[in-house]
């Protein structure tokens, strides 16, 4: 019989790609999402798969799964500033209560669980590149704290279940990831730039453009997550692409990719926005034999083609952005 896996956040960007990967690997996948930020369109291509089922449920409430489970992938959480500034309490609840419920379910089902942490646990880092033994520089009461601290608590309770209850746990620290099924207007820099280019708008940089990011294509990330889940490493592991680029240079790449002639305009940097982001992936290389394979040029072409294929109403759909009120004055 197929091994069974529960994937929370299944209708989100990463969750939907994970559902697809595990269905293709022959698992029976139970996708769970309350659709607060996820979209059923991300799972449309799986609806007729015999080994896939979807459950609409908020994992901050008790999770009831009648069948046995072999694995749990906990990927439910708002992940963009627009989302977690709009729904801060839900963000904290899914990282705390939701994680507690998933860990309790893993214990009850004797299942191995991997939880999705983030590079945001490092905050605005004073160590570069970021290694797993760096404890971070996070403002717990700043605008990003609802996401950062939810993830830091998530890691702590996951390790507690591992050490106290003996649950098989894995923690993946995910760095900036991109690819098809991102929401075009979710506020993150890559879809924001491409959306502005497609609409003929100037590209907006917050800050002077010297801040850096490191972008990993989603297929590479999913491979790293899969390998970590199947490994015997309970400690946090960075998974991301160490190819670092400044936001200013990245804007120029997008203009060249899209063949547009937009200007770049600058606005003030938001509070606590990290100035550097680059993963040290030495541990992933050593323990998982994993390195990213898809370079940024190829990944951006695939992503751009996806965004160009979206209906026009998606291109002009506006999402409420609370980030402006956190701009430094």
CATH code for the domain of 43: 3.40.50.720
How far is the C-alpha of 76 from the C-alpha of 60, rounded, in Å? 10
In a domain, 279, yes or no: no
| Claim to verify: residue 21 and residue 70 sit in the same structural domain | yes
pLDDT band with cut points at 50, 70 and 90 for residue 277: very high
pLDDT band at 274 (very low <50, low <70, confident <90, very high): confident
CB 47 within 8 A of CB 86: no
Same domain, 101 and 53: yes
CATH code where residue 319 lies:
3.90.25.10
User: Is the pLDDT at 329 greater than 60, yes or no?
Assistant: no
Whole-angstrom distance, CA of residue 153 vs CA of residue 189: 26
The pLDDT assigned to 213 comes to 95
Is 16 found in the same domain as 106? yes
What is the distance between the alpha carbons of residues 309 and 2, in angstroms, rounded to a whole number? 35
Q: Domain check: are 58 and 206 in the same one? A: no
User: How many domains is the chain partitioned into structurally?
Assistant: 2
Using DSSP's 3-state secondary structure scheme, residue 127 falls into: coil
Tokens of 168: 């098989």
In terms of pLDDT, which residue wins out, 260 or 289? Answer: 289
- Whether the predicted pLDDT of 9 surpasses 50: yes
Query: Burial of 237 by CB count in 10 Å (0-12 exposed, 13-18 middle, 19+ buried)?
Result: buried
Residues 269, 323: Cα–Cα separation, whole Å: 10
> In this structure, is residue 313 part of a structural domain?
yes
User: What average pLDDT score do residues 88-92 get?
Assistant: 96
**Dihedral angle sign, alpha carbons of residues 22, 23, 27, 28:** positive
Model confidence over 171-216: pLDDT tens digits? 999 999 999 999 988 889 999 999 999 999 999 999 999 999 999 9
Residues 155 and 124 in one domain: yes
CB of 146 closer than 8 Å to CB of 88: yes
Confidence at residue 323, expressed as pLDDT on a 0 to 100 scale: 42
**171 and 301 belong to one structural domain:** no
Instruction: Specify whether 198 is located in the same domain as 226.
Output: no
Q: Which residue, among 104, 111, 91, has the nearest Cα to 151 in the 3D structure?
A: 91
Task: Indicate which residue of 71, 147, 161, 178 is catalytic.
Answer: 147
pLDDT at 271 over 80: no
Is residue 289 domain-resident?
no
Beta bridge partners of 5: 29, 71
d(CA 228, CA 224): 6
Is 80 exceeded by the pLDDT of residue 316? Answer: no
Q: Which has the closest alpha carbon to 243: 288, 213, 204?
A: 213
Let me know if residue 132 belongs to a domain.
yes
Residues in the chain: 329
The predicted structure's pLDDT at residue 140? 95
Q: Answer yes or no: is 285 within a domain.
A: no
Residue in 227, 229, 251 with CA at minimum distance from that of residue 115: 229
- Same-domain status, 312 and 298: yes
Residues 9, 77: contact at Cβ < 8 Å? yes
Q: How high does pLDDT run on average in the chain?
A: 93
Q: Are residues 131 and 16 both part of a single domain?
A: yes
- Together in a domain, 157 and 186: no
Q: Is it the case that residue 166 has pLDDT exceeding 60? A: yes
**Angle value at C-alpha 246, between 13 and 77, nearest 5 degrees:** 25
> Is residue 12 located within the same domain as residue 141?
yes
pLDDT at residue 319 is higher than 60: no
pTM of this structure:
0.94
Question: In this structure, are 34 and 171 located in the same domain?
Answer: yes
Does residue 100 have a pLDDT over 70?
A: yes
CB 170 within 8 A of CB 287: no
Is 249 inside a domain boundary? Answer: yes
Q: Which residues contact 37 (CB under 8 A, 6 or more apart)?
A: 12, 78, 79, 83, 183
User: In terms of pLDDT, which residue wins out, 300 or 319?
Assistant: 300
**150: in domain:** yes
Task: Give the pLDDT confidence score for residue 288 in this predicted structure.
Answer: 98
With beta carbons less than 8 A apart as the criterion, state whether 39 and 54 touch. Answer: no
Q: Which residues form the domain of 190? A: 182-214+242-273+294-326
pLDDT at residue 322 tops 70: no
User: Is residue 147 among the annotated active site residues?
Assistant: yes
Q: Does 286 map to a domain? A: no
pLDDT of 198: 92
Bridge-based pairing state of the strands 212-214 and 244-246: antiparallel
Q: Is the pLDDT of residue 328 over 60?
A: no
Tally of CA atoms within 13 A in the half-sphere of 49 that contains its CB: 22
Report the C-alpha gap between 53 and 10 in whole angstroms. 10
Taking Cα atoms as reference points, which of 292, 302, 269, 303 lies closest to residue 192? 303
């Amino acid at each position: 019989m197929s091994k069974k896996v529960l994937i929370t956040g299944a209708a989100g960007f990463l969750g939907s790609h994970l559902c697809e990967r595990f269905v293709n690997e022959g698992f029976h996948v139970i996708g769970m999402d309350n659709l607060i930020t996820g979209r059923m369109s991300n799972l449309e291509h799986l609806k007729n798969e015999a080994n896939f089922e979807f459950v609409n449920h908020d994992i901050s409430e008790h999770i009831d799964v009648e069948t046995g489970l072999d694995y749990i992938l906990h990927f439910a959480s708002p992940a963009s500033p627009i989302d977690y500034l709009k729904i801060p309490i839900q963000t904290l609840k899914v990282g705390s209560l939701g994680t507690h419920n998933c860990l309790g379910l893993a214990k009850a089902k004797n299942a191995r669980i991997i939880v999705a942490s983030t590079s945001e646990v490092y905050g605005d880092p004073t160590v570069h590149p970021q290694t797993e033994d760096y404890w971070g520089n996070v403002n717990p009461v700043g605008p990003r704290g609802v996401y950062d601290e939810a993830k830091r608590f998530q890691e702590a309770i996951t390790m507690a279940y591992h050490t106290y209850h003996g649950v098989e746990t894995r923690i993946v620290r995910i760095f900036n990831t991109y690819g098809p099924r991102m929401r075009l207007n979710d506020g993150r820099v890559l879809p924001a730039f491409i959306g502005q280019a497609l609409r003929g708008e100037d590209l907006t940089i917050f800050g002077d453009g010297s801040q850096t990011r490191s972008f990993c294509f989603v297929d590479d990330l999913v491979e790293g997550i899969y390998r970590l889940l199947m490994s015997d490493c309970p400690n946090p592991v960075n998974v991301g692409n160490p190819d670092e680029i400044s936001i200013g240079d990245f804007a120029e790449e997008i203009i060249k990719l899209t063949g547009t002639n937009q200007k770049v305009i600058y606005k003030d940097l938001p509070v606590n926005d990290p100035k550097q982001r680059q993963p040290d992936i030495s541990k992933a290389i050593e323990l998982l034999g994993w390195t990213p394979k898809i370079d940024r040029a190829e990944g951006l072409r695939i992503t751009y083609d996806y965004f160009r294929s979206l209906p026009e109403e998606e291109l002009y759909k506006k999402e409420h952005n609370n980030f402006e009120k956190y701009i430094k004055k």
